[in-house]
Chain A
Amino acid sequence: MIRFEKRKDISKYFAMTAPFVSVLLALTTAGCIMLFAGVNPLKAYMGMFHESLGSVYGITETLVKATPLIFTGLGVSVAFRMKIWNIGADGQLYMGAIGASWVALFSGLTGFAAMIGMFLAAAFCGGLWASVAGFLKAKVRVNEIIVTLLMNYIAAAWVSYLVYGPWKDPKGFNFPITQRFSPDIMLSHFMTYRLNTGFLLAVALVIILYILVEKTIWGYEIKVIGDNPNAAKYAGIKIDRSIIGVMFLSGALAGIAGYVEVAGVQGRLQEGISQGYGYTAIIVAWLAGRSAIGVLIVSVIMAVILVGGDSLQILMQLPVAFVNMFQGLILFFILASDFFIHNKISIRRSGK
């Protein structure tokens, strides 16, 4: 008879290797599915890795994609610490991009002032957008998962409205894009690549978030609330305020991702600046567990898949949304591996 028994302590060995094994299994499964769909998986994977890691350009592109993932991943992860699900990082990213673009295009600020302004506006808009869900969660106990999700659609439609309507570049040949930002307010680039200072900003925020959560009184409060709201209440922590605060922070981080996308990569506001980063952020946060450094590492791994997936669009005419399949599969395997981290299999003969 096969039985599963709970381990007292989780298996360290399993816990360390599980994420990598899960990614491998996901790639294998995805390969089988591709075969079935008439796509050569070996060719696809070779293409993916060659494109994302095979050249300096590829590596910089991977880091470019990792940047928004780090921001949004940190955001989702800090909310996780409080057992709050922010599935709306995508929408918050869009709102951040809108805020930053407004400052760039209409505030009249220039130079460094404009850059600071864009950064703050993005953080504020993203944060505010997320706090709506935070407020509803804290005051009315509305399910934050559904609210943040639905607000993604609203934010995306809002960007469309702006770039098709009032913010459309009159000289843009009727394309749904805004005017280009003036070069002096863009983030500086690494040589001729698209990699920009946004990545350094992301790394800096990893460190700041680590200190914030692990070392400060506020971080202590977040951890207590996440662990046992009743104990938190008993300790005199204002739970409602903390929920809204954490959601604001979470959204602000996603908003900054939006800022880096418009000010570092695109140079203007347009549709589709987020390739579902907010959803990938959930994988990042879940895989990284409680660690801010983990967010950094997982973001880069996910970016490899995203960049690789993008390249398949040109290489093998595969749809962009196709990488979602990888992400779903990785999560499935991670969830399954959790079971084996916490349980051990014992095979034995039971009583005659």
Chain B
Amino acid sequence: MEPILKIDSVVKTFPGVRALDGVCLNIYEGEIHTLLGENGAGKSTLMNVLNGLYSPDSGNIVIDGSPYIFKSPKDSIRAGIGMVHQHFMLVYSHTVFENILLAVEDIPFFFSRKRLKKRITEIIRKFNISIDLDEPIWKLSIGQQQWVELIKLLLRDCRVLILDEPTAVLTPQEADRLFRFLKQLRSEGKSIIFISHKMREVMELSDRVTILKKGSSVKELLRGSFDENILAGLMIGTDDVPVWEKTEKTFDSIILSIEHLYADKDKNMSDLIDFSIDLRKGEILGIAGVAGNGQKTLAEVLTGLKNPKAGKITTGGTDITNADSRQSHIAGIAHVPEDRKAMGIAPEMSVDDNLILKSYKNKKFRKLFMQNRKAIEENAREQIDAFAIKTGPKGTPVRLLSGGNIQKVIIARELSLRPSVLVALYPTRGLDIGSAEYVHKVIMDAREQDMSTILISEDLDELLKLSDRIAVMFRGEITGVVDPKKTTREEIGLLMSGETLP
């Protein structure tokens, strides 16, 4: 059988990085083909080439035997390729209907809303999706937003559907439903490119797996010829992966107590509602939940970026609800690679300057109102050594560092303040395995020294591995607190979708 879509030695460079280095990929009709690889292996870049967003430096895309050059996404759409991006391509202030219309090509200049709505409703009904067409996107849950993206592709009648890490934002139950849906599409003869780095999902879905490493395709395997170990071995590079171990520990004293916290919401985000929890000294408290259910607000309130509307935060009897006083007790790390400006760094400034972001007023770094450059550089040298940060030439803007190294800069800065509590918001999102394990090790080491961590993550595996307790959030409330040793993914999944356990 001939592949319907063939990617042949595609190369794509970005300033300073060779993101794709001769990647080959064959997609056959009616299969689910998984693209497996670490973060930074080039999966999304490759798909953006296929999607017409990036034009490759060299290499070919062959569809049904004839070569194609995609000048823009339009050409890719014409060729029958559709993609659900990791960050949805939706216009948030527009309604579901308008977003779907945007994707449909053959509508008249002044269109009849009624007829089109009927057509869309038919599809929605066929797949049993519940969505109000007149609702603006920002009011939908992330799971629903993903359905809108899928509906867009279905209306376009794509032959090849690309899904870039679609389960990252779903509860386990929603993910199951998505998988059933994908299998249904496969049985209708559609080809699906599924991108993931989660072994369990790959094993469940894939007919064929292509493994990507550092911008080139390492191996193509058919179902039956792979298992989790083989895949993991192929995916992870030879780089050192830090190892750590979780020790048994008992917790007696409470280091931080949060009582009846309320906070206002940001756009598209949930607020905090009556949020109460105690953090024990030296424990890692996991916070699970689908992104956008108030986790970011929680992190912002705890780290002093935002003031709560009501409620109290105390540590050892002292009230630290006031933002300024919180900073000396709580440090925060966050890494949101798609938005480097989120909270951790000043991207255009040097590593030296970023390392003193929270302590620039410290006597050590100043002479009256002048900055003490010597001390600042000295501090940077120490931290760079201690955390093995690869910085490039002196004065390089932090923005040009790799994701893992940016995260190290943030960690170095935050830990140098010797906080009693660390708030980690998606600390490993988008990092390669080596860097992610490094972050885990840092958190574990801190636990050994009786520092407490609030670990906010969407990755259940990460939470189950690290946490001593897991609290689940839904729409700004805690729906349950579970013990990672006793709970199941299903149980957490139910809590994530707002249901309470019996």
Contact = CB atoms under 8 A, between A and B. Distances in A.
Do A and B share a direct contact in the complex (Cβ within 8 angstroms)?
Answer: yes
A118 to B, nearest CB: 28
Contacts of A161: none
B370 interface: yes
A234 B332 contact: yes
Contacts of A215: 370-371, 373
B67 A351 contact: yes
B357 A235 contact: yes
Chain B CB count within 10 A is highest, among A8, A219, A236, for A236
A7 interface: yes
Nearest to A218: B369
B303 interface: yes
Contacts of A232: 346
Interface string B341-366: 11111111100010001101100001
B332 A217 contact: no
A219 B370 CA distance: 9
A241 to B, nearest CB: 14
B294 interface: no
A39 to B, nearest CB: 44
Interface string B323-343: 010010000100000000111
B305 interface: yes
Contact of A236 (B55, B332, B358): B358
B58 interface: yes
Interface in A219-273: 219-221, 223-224, 227-228, 230-236
B111 interface: no
A216 interface: yes
A209 to B, nearest CB: 15
B327 A224 contact: no
Contacts of A6: 14-15
Contact of B324 (A3, A227, A234, A236): A236
Contact of B361 (A8, A217, A233): A217
Q: How large is the interface on B (under 10, 10 to 19, 20 to 34, 35 or more residues)?
A: 20 to 34
Contacts of A230: 305, 341-343
Contacts of B353: 220, 223-224
Contacts of A231: 341, 343-346, 357
Contacts of A192: none
B42 interface: no
A317 interface: no
A17 interface: no
Given A228-B345, A235-B357, A236-B304, A7 B69 contact: no
A138 B324 CA distance: 20
Contact of B357 (A217, A219, A224): A224
Contacts of B141: none
A350 interface: yes
Contact of A227 (B14, B347, B358, B360): B347
Contacts of B349: 223-224, 227
Nearest to B327: A236
A289 to B, nearest CB: 13
B346 A223 contact: yes
Given A217-B361, A217-B369, A235-B360, A351 B60 contact: yes
Given A215-B370, A236-B327, A351-B69, A220 B360 contact: yes
A350 B358 CA distance: 50
Nearest to B61: A351
B382 to A, nearest CB: 20
A282 to B, nearest CB: 21
Nearest to B17: A8
B281 to A, nearest CB: 25
Interface of B: 14-16, 55, 58-60, 67, 69, 303-305, 324, 327, 332, 341-349, 353, 357-358, 360-361, 366, 369-371, 373
10 contacts: A5-B15, A6-B14, A217-B360, A220-B353, A223-B349, A230-B341, A231-B345, A231-B357, A232-B346, A235-B357
Given A215-B371, A223-B353, 6 more contacts: A215-B370, A223-B346, A227-B348, A230-B341, A231-B343, A236-B358
